[in-house]
Amino acid sequence: YLHFNQIETLEPESFTHLPKLERLFLHNNRIAHLIPGTFSHLESMKRLRLDSNALHCDCEILWLAELLKTYAESGNAQAAATCEYPRRIQGRSVATITPEELNCERPRITSEPQDVDVTSGNTVYFTCRAEGNPKPEIIWLRNNNELSMKEDSRLNLLDDGTLMIQNTQETDQGIYQCMAKNVAGEVKTQEVTLRYFESPARPSFVIHPQNTEVLVGESVTLECSAAGHPQPRITWTKGDRTPLPSDPRVTITPSGGLYIQNVKQEDSGEYTCFATNSIDNIHATAYIIVQALPQFTVTPQDKTVIEGQTVDFPCEAQGYPQPVIAWTKGGGQLSVDRRHLVLSSGTLRISRVALHDQGQYECQAVNIIGSQRIVVYLTVQPRVTPVFASVPSDMTVEVGTNVQIPCSAQGEPEPVITWNKDGVQVTESGKFHVSPEGFLTIRDVGTADEGRYECVARNTIGYSSVSMVLSVNVPNVSRNGDPFVQTSIVEAIATVDRAINSTRTHLFDSRPRSPNDLLALFRYPRDPYTVEQARAGEIFERTLQLIQDHVQDGLMVDLNGTSYHYNDLVSPQYLNLIANLSGCTAHRRVNNCSDMCFHQKYRTHDGTCNNLQHPMWGASLTAFERLLKSVYENGFNLPRGIEPRRLSNGYALPMPRLVSTTLIGTETVTPDDQYTHMLMQWGQFLDHDLDLTVAALSEARFSDGQHCSSVCTNDPPCFSIMIPPNDPRVRNGARCMFFVRSSPVCGSGMTSLLMNSVYPREQINQLTSYIDASNVYGSSDHEALEIRDLASQRGLLRQGIVQRSGKPLLPFATGPPTECMRDENESPIPCFLAGDQRSNEQLGLTSIHTLWFREHNRIATELLKLNPHWDGDTIYHETRKIVGAEMQHITFSHWLPKVFGEVGMKMLGEYKGYDPSVNSGITNEFATAAFRFGHTLINPFLYRLDENFEPIPQGHLPLHKAFFSPFRIVNEGGIDPLLRGFFGVAGKMRVPSQLLNTELTERLFSMARTVALDLAAMNIQRGRDHGIPPYHDFRVYCNLSSAQTFEDLKNEIKNPEIREKLSRLYGSPLNIDLFPALMVEDLVPGSRLGPTLMCLLSTQFRRIRDGDRLWYENPGVFTPAQLIQIKQTSLARVLCDNGDNITRVQHDVFRVAEFPHGYSSCEDIPKLDLRMWQDCCE
């Protein structure tokens, strides 16, 4: 109770310590002013009395009015206060006073603060001025919180309301606001910002990233944070500064760390953290090292090997760190010897495996994280050379029966069984069959099948052989065919002669009308002796055919071509009769080699008496030799594939024309970067020195005389090439291409005098098998005489028209119109006559023939000057001997090394002298398939170049315009332009997918409105006509792997498209014809041949050389001085001496050279010095 105490003022804190005060009586004092908040803490107040004081009611007292109103409203407390001043409201209760009555004013701002940017340690002023009644109080807020000036000595509120902040620091930054407040209300200014900038500072790392190891699949964080001003931005790169991959596994943490979940091996590597602000950019690197348990990437497999072989167990692993591979055997150490080797890749190689190497091997991959292990087993089989399980013994069998000779073998590896008869390998055919276990079946045994049979079992370890002798008993009983012999012979002679005569009339009494006629004329034998021998062979075979037909008619059963038992058809004495009556026996040459003075020095024209023990070896008009026994559908004479419905190894053989279009024909030519087109031309010229198969004399069927091209059947001698249904060539409704079979050797027999058995069909080589320049001189005395100029007695060859150059062309052939005058519009010029009847086939060949005929006359003329006492014959034979030697030298020293390459020349071997046990005869496989590889080297154009090696005005010739057109040599610049086109132009490279140019497969011998021939299809058909075994048998012969699937051919035929085409065409790899397979083999590096072809050609050329008694290097054939001269010779020299005007050549005309600097003057090419042939008279 403080009433009646003369109190004038009250301090605001007077009652703060009395929170429980309930009654405060201050009436009847002299209180004039009360400071706001004086009673604010009195929560328990019940009664307050302020009446009867000197209270001034102005704006300052409004807070009291508010308080009293609150009391009144709450009803908790009673209060009384009255105004004394101003007089107009004297006695009024304070609670009822309003601001308006007192003229109070809410604060209003008169001066606002502004944003400010500061750096550390400065002073900042925020101004704030306000007016109002009563005078407003200024309060400052930061980030909506009131600033307390007491707590921070750096903050000061100046009298005018300005906020002063001294010594600024980072914590001062934020949003500031000034509030002016009085009893009438309050007001705030706009918000302003204090931005604090440290002095710009370069980034610096607070946390450096550290190298971290982590296992695959775990998570990893590389920490990285930096300070600086402005605050640096953190980024990451990997490795050589490439950005991080966008991968959900990779994130950057708010603090700047790099976080990778589910770590993979590829996450390992160097990472760089960059901290960047406006001042600078810094970086730090660290490695994540991802460690991984070893994992095998290549696992070894169990192996079974034969002792002595080498075995590899590949074993590779990855992991981090890279695991080390360690091998153990049965848990223990590997043998420490040179045979056991762990390669750097981890592969365990055991060389020369021994039996005790068998067992379990463990490959371990180890790193610091852990290890993995894998187990394999090696089985070692002992090597066993083949051992025979069953062996054949000598047998005697009845003629005409089928016989099986047992033979089987065991060994490790499994041995392969082959059979030889009298030294020649037997192949699967209608005659012979070798069963899977090795038994040999011979069908329709005849006396021709008598002899020694050898069974050879071979494996990689070695071979064993065992042999037996087969004898054939011919009982003297009458045979089914005997009654038909007389009539059949008469009929055969009549039909064969009729067909031959109609063919001759067709060919020789008019101009050729079609490519068929050209081909027939081109191949028609000119020598009467040849014609007689071929006729006899046809009659002999036709007679047997007719007898067979008669017997079959009598039997009324169809033996469908497989069961011909010719040996059981006719008695032996009747076979002799057929041989006599058909003319076979009349044409047996009995050779008299008694003129040793001649035979020691010179060759015969027909090749006889070269081998004095076997005078017929290599002679003209004898059967081709064989590397493998023939394969005929019926074992006797029917070609493979003649019956389209017959399956071979489960598939029908494809039509040769389809093989040609699918596999062989090409428009594309890749030039040979090393060799000229002369490589091809010499090959053809050489071939025409070695072989010419006697063609059938008839182009008409023996059965009814119809021409083979008009009936698309396979009646002898026709063997038409059928045209597949959707072939581009089926115009004029042509269903087939003309083809007739080659003539058979008489009685299809060998040259045995006793015609008492039937032999498989063989074909006749019209030429000598030796390289003896028979293409210049002919292969019979008859041909040689036609070519020689006997009148002059100077040892010369006949010559034709002399050109402006002063040099003669070949003489023209006489007789009926020929293949060269096929078209009146072109020219009336007949064919040229040379030692080989094919000399006009294309102009390049003709020009080479011309070259060599001139070479003969050049040498002969010079020899006569040196030896005027020699007679014409001596000059002729000496010259012929030199020319033959030149050809041998060019072929073996200049041409073969390019075709064979180093590998082939090694296979050929060095010359070791004459070997009389070698038969030089040309093999059927060589003539029919292997040597025809030259067809793949033929350019589609014959280039014709003048003295400056520019095209001549008449231009180059497409090949099809160069066939049989000697008029172009006479009228279009002679032989030089053609010859320059051979040595001045690159040849065609044989690429397995570019074989024969379409000039040969689509336009061969083409004429208006006729079906042109296809050389590739003819080559394949000729192979079947001649009973050439399929490619697979020659792989075995040449020691290549045996191919059971087309994939097995991939070493020799690398191109998978070609293997796929072969598979589509042939179905089984055992069916592929020899010619196309040889053509698609990949070339042996450095050569122009595939492996099988190289084997076949090196065999043939070795025999030609080693079996020739008069081979130029055989001591005694020439004197050492003469031999040195012959070895000077080159085709370049022959071109210089015998061209019309060839003055510049390269030293080696088979090699491509640049004109002019790769060429030499003819003066610089070595010459043959003929003075070594001068007789020195005592």
List the structure tokens of 586.
Answer: 């009349």
Kindly give the pairing relationship between strand 996-997 and strand 665-666: parallel
Q: State whether residue 380 is helix, strand or coil.
A: strand
Comparing CA positions, the residue from 773, 798, 797, 795 lying closest to residue 874 is 795
Place of tokens 């050209």: 518
Do the Cβ atoms of 419 and 432 come closer than 8 Å? yes
Tokens found for residue 576: 């002799």
Q: Give the type of residue at 668.
A: T
Q: Report the distance separating Cα 15 and Cα 270, nearest Å.
A: 74
Nearest one of 890, 811, 808, 889 to 854, comparing CA atoms: 808
Strand boundaries in 991-1066, DSSP class E:
996-997
Coil, strand or helix at 875: helix
Write down the residue that tokens 């394969």 correspond to: 631
What phi and psi values does residue 780 have, to the nearest 5 degrees?
Answer: -150, 160
Instruction: Quickly count: other Cβ atoms within 10 Å of residue 605's Cβ.
Output: 21
Helices (H), 366-461: none
- The sign one gets for the Cα dihedral 568, 572, 574, 580 is positive
d(CA 879, CA 391): 57
Q: Which of 565, 688, 894, 960 is catalytic?
A: 688
Q: Among 246, 249, 237, 252, which Cα is nearest to 285's?
A: 237
- CB count in 10 Å sphere of residue 146: 10
Q: Is 935 assigned a ligand-binding role in the annotation?
A: yes
Measure the N-to-C terminal CA separation of the chain; round to a whole number of Å.
186
In whole angstroms, what is the distance from residue 1080 CA to residue 1058 CA? Answer: 8
- Contact in structure between 180 and 136 (CB atoms under 8 Å): yes
What is the Cβ-side half-sphere exposure of residue 294, based on CA atoms within 13 angstroms?
A: 22
CA–CA–CA angle 939, 945, 948 (5° rounding): 140
Could you give the residue ranges of the DSSP H alpha helices within 568-608?
A: 572-582, 596-601
What interhelical angle do 896-908 and 1091-1106 show, nearest 10?
Answer: 80
Rounded to whole angstroms, how far apart are CA atoms 710 and 736?
A: 9
* Alpha helices for 929-1009 (secondary structure H): 967-971, 976-983, 998-1001
User: Pairing state of beta strands 47-49 and 23-25?
Assistant: parallel
| Catalytic residue check, 1157 | no
Q: What share of the chain is helix, strand, coil (3-state, %, to 5)?
A: 30, 25, 45
- What span, in angstroms and rounded, lies between the C-alpha atoms of 1117 and 1129? 17
Structure tokens that stand for 1153 in this block: 């050279």
* Phi–psi pair at 1139, nearest 5 degrees: -70, 170
87 contact partners, CB below 8 Å, separation of at least 6? none
Sign of CA dihedral 53, 56, 60, 65: positive
What is the Cα–Cα distance from 523 to 242, expressed in whole angstroms? 76
- Token code pair at residue 1013: 């021939």
Specify the DSSP class assigned to residue 784. Answer: H
Q: What are phi and psi of 795, to 5 degrees?
A: 75, 20
d(CA 668, CA 456): 46
State phi, psi for 23 to the nearest 5 degrees: -125, 130
Amino acid, single-letter form, for residue 566: Y
Q: Report the catalytic residues.
A: 688
Binding site for heme b, by residue number, is 935
